[in-house]
Amino acid sequence: MRSASISRTTAETDVSVSVALDGTGKATIATGIGFLDHMLELLARHALFDLDIKVAGDLHVDQHHSAEDCGIALGQAFAKALGDKRGVTRYADIHLPMDETLSRVCVDISGRPFLVFRTQFRVEKIGAFDTELVREWFQAFAMNAGLTLHVETLYGENAHHIAESLFKGLARALRAAVAVDPREEGRVPSTKGTL
């Protein structure tokens, strides 16, 4: 089973993450941020990754450090679990509908981190959650997972639906990209021989 654990402690947060890429979608999430917990539970369920995430952060300041550092640690664990990426499908894309919202997520497990994020929220908060932290989480995750990641909401109104479509879209794209392609016969899917 492709799995990894990461612990990351700073003056602002204490984060522990375990991920199993060939799981069943089981999630134990406790970030201290209810909405982020919900999004990460969706990510686990729709990617079929098993996730165990615990974050103790400086929530008395705001949610920024906890959300960002969660993305960093999960990205690091994801990259570690993939190892040398032999046999993976590598590329995947998905259009994910969520009621009135449609989002597109495209991923390349390239080892070259880059994020294009074309989503706007009409409100600053979803409950107590700052909507700008959605992009911060995606940025932290992509950079530390070594992904080229393109995320775009084609249309949508409701902020909760928009965020949910992005996390579910990421989940489905990652699920497809990490799938083992039997035609690769264990090769790294690159003409360079490495990713």
Give the tens place of pLDDT for each residue, 109-163.
999 999 999 999 999 999 999 999 999 999 999 999 999 999 999 999 999 999 9
Q: Report residue 185 as tokens.
A: 């016969």
Helical segments of the chain, H only: 34-47, 64-82, 132-145, 159-178
| Cβ proximity of 153 and 162 under 8 Å | yes
Give the tens place of pLDDT for each residue, 38-87.
999 999 999 999 999 999 999 999 999 999 999 999 999 999 999 999 99
Give the tens place of pLDDT for each residue, 2-40.
999 999 999 999 999 999 999 999 999 999 999 999 999
| Cβ proximity of 83 and 2 under 8 Å | yes
Res 1: pLDDT: 84
What gap in Å lies between CA 19 and CA 11, rounded to an integer?
A: 24
What gap in Å lies between CA 67 and CA 98, rounded to an integer?
A: 23
pLDDT (average), residues 84-95: 97
Q: Which CATH superfamily is domain 3-184 in?
A: Imidazole glycerol phosphate dehydratase; domain 1 (3.30.230.40)
